[in-house]
Amino acid sequence: MVNVIGLGYIGLPTALMMASHGVEVVGTDYNKELVDTLNAGRTTFKENGLDELFRAALDSGIKFTSEYQVTDTYIVSVPTPYDKFSKKIDACYVIAAVKDVMKVCPKGATVVIESTVSPGTIDRFVRPVIEENGFVIGSDINLVHAPERIIPGNMVYELLHNNRTIGSDSREVGEKVKQLYASFCQGEIVVTDIKTAEMTKVVENTFRAVNIAFANELAKICRHDGMDVYEIIRICNMHPRVNILQPGPGVGGHCISVDPWFLVGDYPSLTKVIGESMKVNDSMPDFVLNRIYEIMKEKGLSDVSRVGLYGLTYKENVDDMRESPTLQLLESQQRHLAPGLKVYDPFITKDVVDNQYHDLDKFLEDVDMVVIMVNHNEIKENMQKLAGKTVLDCRNICDLDGVYHI
């Protein structure tokens, strides 16, 4: 039996995928309301294919509880935030989960850390917890790192098809855990050491963050001299060895906007490019806010409350708001003591910010200017409703005449 610890955006799909492929799984989470929801037959967030996977896992006998189980395999998939001042990882949730596992696990159990951590985190924080509980790593307890590599909006597909990395002290243990993930994973599964597995996951997201920062800096340069950054990137990407990503209103989610800071926090004197790239990405919500004010002045719009932000999530077609650029922009606006912007997102059904709408037509009726922060399918399919509005398109999806860009 596998006990999956933490049933959030990563732990729940992982537990469901294993259960639906013949693995006996019990999912554990300290949040009793979340566990009750799952036991009532409902998922806790929206994701393509998740409800179907949930039903398959239920049919296969998956269980959900707030109690840790006595078993031979644990998968820890809890959040790993970072300190925004020191930029270092906060491993408190991982430490707490491992401590609770140590209270119930038998000798010979394998503890798999799926949570994304900075290189060396397992050595600094996880090994001491295990050893303090009287276990000898390698004989009493096997320790493994198997970082997730999936993205909200495409989790189910990527769990099945993405390649994976298994980090282990022992090749033999690594191969056993590889077989566990091979129960569903159709991608290549590489076995390596723990610190390499830690580093590769963080480096993957750091590479993308730096590429996005380059695109965002290009957008600022082109805005300064009146050039079309999208046309420039399109032409440059025709070169066979160039692949510039698209600029945007900021970077959100719990991977690209967070993981690179782990390296900056641990290696401050060695991460100049990474650190400056993260600052560029973090500056984009302020840049968009300034663009809003510039366009309002140009168009003779004086009432900020008649400006609406379309999109609250950090990316399209999901309900995940973690580190959302829109939330960052709203925080910046509050610091400037400006009147409230209106906000609408079809995926956020509860009120989470001031002046939030839950109907697209009503939202558009009450604004003169629309700022497209997220490229949900809904807005792509309703572009005609933006006719006559002043539009700042931060995602380059609107083909109406007179549209402004970042």
- Which residues carry out catalysis? 201, 255
Rg (CA), the chain: 23
Helices and strands (H, E) in the chain, number of each type: 15, 14
Whole-angstrom distance, CA of residue 63 vs CA of residue 176: 23
Question: Are 263 and 271 contacting, i.e. CB atoms less than 8 angstroms apart?
Answer: yes
Question: Are 256 and 216 contacting, i.e. CB atoms less than 8 angstroms apart?
Answer: no
**Tokens representing 154?**
């495409």
**Tokens representing 76?**
């820890």
DSSP 384: G
**Tokens representing 340?**
């409230």
**CA triplet 146, 252, 209: central angle to 5 degrees?**
70
Phi-psi group of 3: left, alpha or beta (phi > 0 → left; psi -120 to 50 → alpha; rest → beta) = beta
**Tokens representing 5?**
């610890």
Q: Environment class of residue 223 by beta-carbon count within 10 Å: exposed (0-12), middle (13-18) or buried (19+)?
A: middle
Cα four-point dihedral sign 34, 38, 41, 42: positive
Question: Are 12 and 146 contacting, i.e. CB atoms less than 8 angstroms apart?
Answer: no
Dihedral angle over CA of 230, 234, 239, 244, nearest 10: 50
